[in-house]
Amino acid sequence: MDPVDVLTLREELIEKATALHPLLAKNADEAEKQRSLPDENFKALVEAGMLRLCTPRRYGGLEAGHRTYLDVVAELARSGCGASSWYGFILNMTDWIVGGMHQEAQDAVWGDSPDNVVCCPLTPSPGWKARRVPGGVRLSGEWGYTSGCMHASWALLGFPVLDDADNIVDSAVALVPMSEITIKDTWNVIGMSGTGSNTLVVDDAFVPDNLTMDMSGPLSNNYPTSHPEEHMFLSDPAATFWTCVHPSILGLAQAALELTQERMTAKPKPITYTFYQDATRAPSVQFNIAQAAIMIDAATLQARAAADEIDAQSRTGQHLAPADRHRNIMRSANMVRLCRGAVDLLLDVQGAGAFALANPLQRIWRDLNACSRHGFNAAGVKHEIYGRSLLGADEQQMTAFR
C-alpha cells in the first residue's frame, strides 16, 4: 500500500474509533456486570471495521499494518472501555497469526466473511492431550483466559509439541470451530471483567494438518502462507507477540489523564485537611498531573517506535536483528511501566474519590492493572531478554519468543 494511502486509512480508522467512544463508554459498566462484552459493542466494532485491521485484503480485510493497529486499538481504549479495546487487540492479532497460516486455514475462517472472529488461547491447562493421527491431530483439554470467546466462530488453540520422551520440542496452533467446543464459565475477576475470558473445553477434536501450524516455522522466517507479498503477516513473530498487547494499556492511560483533567477543572475541588479550596492551585497536584502526562507521552513515543520498526521490518522479508528485537521488546516493557505509574499518579491527583464506583477512573485503574499483567506484558521476562542481549549472556533458552 502506498505510504499516503496508509496514513489516510489510519486517520479514517482512528476517526471511526473515536466516533464509538460514547457507545463504548455508556456500556462499560454493563460489560463488567455481565462479564462479557455487550452485543451492542461487539456489533459496533464489527460494523466500524475495528476487527478487520489484521485481516488480509484478499478477503475484504484492511491489512492495515502494525502502527495503524496500535493507534486504533489505543483509541478504542481511550473511550474508557478496556474490554472493547481488548477485543480489538486479541481478535485482530489472532487474525494476524491466521494470515500467516496455510491457505486452507484462511479459507476456513474468512471464506464466507471477513468479519468471522477467532479467539486464541495459546496455553492449555495441565492435563491437555495432543495425539498425532493420520492427516492431523486430535486435541483434548481446557484452555483458560480465552478473551472474546463469547463472540467467536473459531478458536486458535496453542499447545506444546512433544517428542517420544515427552520433551517439548516446539509449539503449535490449531484451528477448531466453536461448534466443537464447550465454554466453561470461569471468568470472575476484578479487572477486564468485560472481556468474557472464559475457559474452552475440547474433547477429542480432530484438526486436519492444513488447519495447524508449528510456530518454529514463523519463528525461523518460514511461513506456510502462499502470499509472501502480504508483508504484514511476515513481521517478526517474537517482536510482534511481545509488543502487540500494550495498545489497550496506552489508551486506558490516555483516558485516565483526560478524565482527571475534566474532573479537576470542571469546578473547584478542595484538598481535605488543607487550606486549598481549589486543588488545581496546589503544586503537588500540578506536579503529579504534569509527570503523569509526560510519562504517557513517553510511552506513546516508545509504542509507536516499536510498531514502526515492526512495519519496516516486515517489508524487508527478514526478521529483526536480535539486538533490535530485544530493544523493541524492552520498549514495550517500559511503556507499560510508564502507563501504570502515570495512572497511579492520577489517582493521587483525584484522591480517595477516584475509588467511588460512579467514577470511571477506578474501573480504568483496575482494567489497566489487570491487562498489564498479561503474560506477553511480563516486564521481568522482557527485562531479562534485553539484559541478556546487552551483556552477551543469551545462551539460556528461557523463552522461544526472543
Find the range with the poorest average confidence among 278-287, 331-340, 383-392. 383-392
Both 58 and 88 in one domain: the answer is: yes
Does 11 share its domain with 39? yes
Domain boundary residue, one of 115, 137, 172: 115
For residue 156, give the CATH number of its domain: 2.40.110.10
Phi-psi map region of 317: left, alpha, beta (phi>0 left; psi -120 to 50 alpha): left
C-alpha cell at 300: 506513546
Is position 230 within any domain?
no
Domain match, 166 and 31 both: no
Asked, for residue 399, whether it belongs to a domain, the answer is no
126 falls within a domain? yes
Average pLDDT, the chain: 94
Which are the contacts of 26, defined by CB distance < 8 A and separation ≥ 6? Answer: none
Question: Which CATH number do you get for residue 55?
Answer: 1.10.540.10
Indicate whether 66 and 129 sit together in one domain.
Answer: no
140 and 36 together in one domain: no
Band (pLDDT 50/70/90 cuts) for residue 4 is low
Residues 125 and 108 in one domain: no
Q: Each residue of 136-147: pLDDT tens digit?
A: 999 999 999 999
35: left (phi over 0), alpha (psi -120 to 50) or beta: left
The mean per-residue pLDDT over the stretch 186-201 comes to 97
The answer to whether residues 129 and 7 belong to one domain is no
Residue 224 domain-assigned?
no
HEC states along the chain? CCHHHHHHHHHHHHHHHHHCHHHHHHCHHHHHHHCCCCHHHHHHHHHCCCCCCCCCHHHCCCCCCHHHHHHHHHHHHCCCCHHHHHHHHHHHHHHHHHCCCCHHHHHHHHCCCCCCCEECCCCECCCCEEEEECCEEEEEEEEEEECCHHHCCEEEEEEEEECCCCCEEEEEEEEEEHHHEEEECCCCCCCCHHHCCEEEEEEEEEEEHHHEEECHHHHCCCCCCCCCCCHHHHCCHHHHHHHCCCHHHHHHHHHHHHHHHHHHHHCCCCCCCCCCCCHHHCHHHHHHHHHHHHHHHHHHHHHHHHHHHHHHHHHHCCCCCHHHHHHHHHHHHHHHHHHHHHHHHHHHHHHHHHHCCCCHHHHHHHHHHHHCCCHHHCHHHHHHHHHHHHHCCCCCCCCCCC
**Boundary of a domain, candidates 162, 180, 214:** 214
Q: Is there a single domain that holds both residue 251 and residue 366?
A: yes
On whether residue 401 sits in a domain, the answer given is no
Q: Are residues 245 and 185 in the same domain?
A: no
> Which of 77, 97, 115 is the last residue in one of the domains?
115
Does residue 10 sit in the same domain as residue 69?
yes
Residue ranges making up the domain that contains 384 = 237-391
Do 89 and 124 sit in the same domain of this protein? no
Total domains, the chain:
3
Any domain includes 143: yes
For residue 396, is pLDDT > 70? no
What's the pLDDT at 398?
Answer: 58
Task: Say what the pTM is.
Answer: 0.94
> Which CATH number belongs to the domain containing residue 299 in this structure?
1.20.140.10
Q: Are residues 108 and 130 in the same domain?
A: no
Provide the pLDDT for residue 379: 81
